[in-house]
């Protein structure tokens, strides 16, 4: 297998929120992962586990009471160390193309899709002149399979799928090496989910771009991902290839295995209990109170090994049982 070139390299990324009274909430803790050119990494986990906070850290969009540490590099640029000027002029749109959750809500309601695209072309490219900008906007729309006949429609006139394509077109304008899609299938029916993830996958398969998809939709992740990173209570508990995760080998972390039971073709078996509050995490393994494999060893934080952070990971024999 040809080794892929990393586009994004994350090492030790942590995010803390400073709350009134000096209380700190650990939203993301010590995240390590890469996303390579021509690859899709699906970051999955329940709502509130820290996925979108991690994405905001990469884009420099954390609130004022947040503190980020570690490294997140695209090429020689450390995104976490970059100032706002660099983030605004060199990162957002140019290095990272964002496809936001609920894209229709991120479009200005009194402007057409064409107007959004033309403004983005003018801001992110060297294209100048009304005719040239118009042509470049139409090309971006075509690349995202956004119909030319919809370009002069306003956001409220677009279906959920068309709004998704408009957001994708906007993310492609700057030719960013990394696309970041935050919950791209939320609110879509299943047929449209499959179409959306297939369209996103198409933009990665050319080999120049990387795609980081943040989702709690495991069926969508199975369809689009090359690798899977599972987050629980602010920590990555497993990072593995998608074929192993969704295939016969299966995931090795007990939480990952529990998540798979939500897929339609699996025997439903809910994970007992509820996730902990990020401001009140238990000592040791945060999943231990909900885990059937817990022992006294789990009172100490597990150290990641072979892509899984667990004192008692499943092995293939366990998964076949």
Report, as an integer, the average pLDDT of 109-129: 94
Phi, psi (rounded to 5 degrees) for 16: -120, 140
Closest CA to 172 of 214, 200, 135: 200
Q: What domains are defined for the chain?
A: 6-95+176-320 (3.40.50.300)
Confidence band (pLDDT; 50, 70, 90) for 23? confident
Mean pLDDT comparison of 45-54, 200-209, 230-239, highest-scoring range:
230-239
Report, as an integer, the average pLDDT of 55-78: 96
d(CA 307, CA 123): 40
Confidence band (pLDDT; 50, 70, 90) for 1? very low
pLDDT digits (tens, 9 = 90+) for 127-155: 999 999 999 999 999 988 889 999 999 99
Report, as an integer, the average pLDDT of 29-47: 94
Contacts of 98 (CB under 8 A, 6+ apart): 59, 92, 171, 180, 182
d(CA 216, CA 99): 16
d(CA 98, CA 177): 11
Q: Are 282 and 288 in contact (CB under 8 A)?
A: yes
- Stated pTM of the model: 0.91
Asked whether residue 234 carries a pLDDT value surpassing 90, the answer given is yes
């Amino acid at each position: 297998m040809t080794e892929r070139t990393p586009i994004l390299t994350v090492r030790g990324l942590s995010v803390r929120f400073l709350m009134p009274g000096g209380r700190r909430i650990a939203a993301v803790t010590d995240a390590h992962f890469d996303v390579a050119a021509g690859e899709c990494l699906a970051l999955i986990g329940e709502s509130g586990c820290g996925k979108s906070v991690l994405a905001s850290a990469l884009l420099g969009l954390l609130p004022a009471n947040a503190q980020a540490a570690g490294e997140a590099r695209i090429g020689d640029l450390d995104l976490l160390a970059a100032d706002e000027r660099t983030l605004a002029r060199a990162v957002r749109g140019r290095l990272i193309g964002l496809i936001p959750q609920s894209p229709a809500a991120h479009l200005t309601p009194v402007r057409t899709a064409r107007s959004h695209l033309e403004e983005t072309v003018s801001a992110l490219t060297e294209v100048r002149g009304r005719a040239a900008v118009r042509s470049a906007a139409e090309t971006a729309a075509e690349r995202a399979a956004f119909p030319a006949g919809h370009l002069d429609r306003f956001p409220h006139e677009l279906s959920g799928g068309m709004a998704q394509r408009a957001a994708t077109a906007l993310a492609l304008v700057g030719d960013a090496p990394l696309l970041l899609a935050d919950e791209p299938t939320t609110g879509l029916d299943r047929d449209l989910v499959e179409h959306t993830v297939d369209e996103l996958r198409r933009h990665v398969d050319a080999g120049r771009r990387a795609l980081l998809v943040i989702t709690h939709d495991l069926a969508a992740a199975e369809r689009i991902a090359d690798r899977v990173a599972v987050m629980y209570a602010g920590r990555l508990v497993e990072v593995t290839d998608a074929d192993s995760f969704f295939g016969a080998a299966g995931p090795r972390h007990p939480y990952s295995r529990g998540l798979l039971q939500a897929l339609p073709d699996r025997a439903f078996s809910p994970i007992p209990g509820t996730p902990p509050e990020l401001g009140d995490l238990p000592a040791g393994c945060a999943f231990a109170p909900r885990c059937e494999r817990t022992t006294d060893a789990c009172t100490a934080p597990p150290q990641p090994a072979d892509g899984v952070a667990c004192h008692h990971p499943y092995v293939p024999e366990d998964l076949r049982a």
